[in-house]
Amino acid sequence: MSEHRLPPGPRMPAAMQSVGWWARPIAFLERARARFGKTFTVKLLGQSPFVVISDPADLKAVFTADPDVLHPGEGARILEPIVGPTSILLLDGSRHLSQRKLVLPAFHGKKMEALSEVVTEVAEREISSWPEGGQPLHPRMQKLTLAVIMRAVFGLERGERFDRLISVLTEMMEFGTSPLSLLPPFQRDWIPGGSWPRFRAARAAADAEIYGLIAERRAAGDAAEGDDVLSTLLLATHEDGEPMSKEEIRDELLTLLVAGHETTATELAWCFERLVRNPRVLARLVAEIDAGGGDYVTATVRETLRRRPVLPMAQPRKVESPFELGGRVYEPGANLFPSAYLVQHDDGIYPDPYEFRPERFLDQDPGTYTWIPFGGGRRRCIGASFAMLEMDIVLRALLSRSEVRATSRGVELAARRGITVSPSLGAEVALTPRVNAPAAPEPAAVS
């Protein structure tokens, strides 16, 4: 598509736009919206121009478009080195739908009940080991959510394989924290001092562990008894009755790692960063947790996801056939990029959008096309319910045990960490044991 037919956007060179996009992502988006409106074009180094959209009507049109017309998988191709070629993030059309049907049962019904018990057990165990005093919560939340993934997704208890897999997976994930690692030209062995060779070695080690685990579980034949996601995938079959291949299972396990580890940890960090700076909200939340309530906890989780979406942009869509949107026809090759951050900070939708106010979601549920921290349509994050459940459990576990307050450090800015946006100081808070704290629930028994 000719660039002159795309909507207007910042005129600075691609190199300067890239600096703004990566160094000050929120300020960059807000400045562009203030000048060009809810739809504008951004140009970054090494990538085709893309069109940022945040009008709810446009978001609805994109999320409900024919999957043969818009291809989200094309836009996520930069993640292929980590998640693999058969990940549901990268597939389009019927292949995506088929793979999604195989993974979806892991997050419904009795499976979710079992996962809830697993998360509670892991959260209680991890939080009980945290020291008192001032500390950044982000790294602690990363450790906690990774432990949850190991147990809930991979079905692993603590032990040698648990430790080995955590080590190599952590090294793989660190690769994605650098903006350069996401650009194909920099995913080469010849870059001096680059991390690509180290990443490939870590990925090979992770694959060996995962394929070994899959083979052992298949040989044991105990998948029907498992409460983890791997058990569900081992039992899944395609329309022709064939089981998922080891490569498919590996790719979906790593997809769930990418989608459910760093993102949930960062969202939890943002939640506490906001809570300690909003004492009224924190006091009401603690009171509800002590009383065993749930509505304000859910509203707080939703407001955190609105105010501080860790993925400010939803999965981009590549136009495959001419597509009309907002009075403009986009030709094949155009890239449409829905913005969760911008639509969720539209004062025409959310009055006082920069206030942290969970009460917004007490009387009404979030709008389908105005609250999109998990994306939307057929591509909505498959683990969205699990992520919200995990946030709910961790909030209860920590606030039941500890008093949480702000340190002397200032308000934390949004800092780029790979594809996510995290608190610049790591969500620094001070923890002290609660006086007359309610008794913590007994860890759930896990077979």
pLDDT at 441: 46
119 contacts 390 by C-beta, under 8 angstroms: yes
Could you read off the pLDDT of 226-272 as tens digits, one per residue? 889 999 999 999 999 999 999 999 999 999 988 888 899 999 999 99
Share of the chain above pLDDT 90, in %: 66
- 323 token code pair: 């597509």
Q: In this structure, is residue 442 part of a structural domain?
A: no
Q: What would the mean pLDDT of 223-228 be, rounded to a whole number?
A: 86
Q: In this structure, is residue 443 part of a structural domain?
A: no
The domain that holds 377 is classified in CATH as: 1.10.630.10
Could you read off the pLDDT of 307-360 as tens digits, one per residue? 999 999 998 999 999 999 999 999 999 999 999 999 999 999 999 999 999 999
Q: In this structure, is residue 352 part of a structural domain?
A: yes
pLDDT at 1: 46
pLDDT band at residue 417 under the 50/70/90 scheme:
confident
Q: Is the pLDDT of residue 181 over 60?
A: no
Instruction: Decide which of 67 and 78 is more confident.
Output: 67
Lowest mean pLDDT across 71-75, 188-192, 388-392: 188-192
Q: In this structure, is residue 217 part of a structural domain?
A: yes
pLDDT band at residue 177 under the 50/70/90 scheme:
low
Q: What would the mean pLDDT of 419-433 be, rounded to a whole number?
A: 93
Q: In this structure, is residue 441 part of a structural domain?
A: no
pLDDT at 243: 93
Q: In this structure, is residue 422 part of a structural domain?
A: yes
Q: What would the mean pLDDT of 43-51 be, rounded to a whole number?
A: 89
Please state, rounded to an integer, the average pLDDT across all residues of the chain. Answer: 89
Lowest mean pLDDT across 71-80, 84-93, 270-279: 71-80
Could you read off the pLDDT of 6-27 as tens digits, one per residue? 999 999 999 999 999 988 999 9
Q: Which residues have CB under 8 Å from 191's CB, separation 6+? A: none
Q: What would the mean pLDDT of 79-97 be, rounded to a whole number?
A: 86
Q: In this structure, is residue 335 part of a structural domain?
A: yes
Q: In this structure, is residue 445 part of a structural domain?
A: no
pLDDT at 183: 55
Q: Name the residue range of residue 108's domain.
A: 3-433
Q: Is the pLDDT of residue 178 over 70?
A: no
Highest mean pLDDT of the ranges 78-87, 147-156, 174-183: 147-156
pLDDT at 89: 87
Q: How many domains is the chain partitioned into structurally?
A: 1
pLDDT at 446: 36
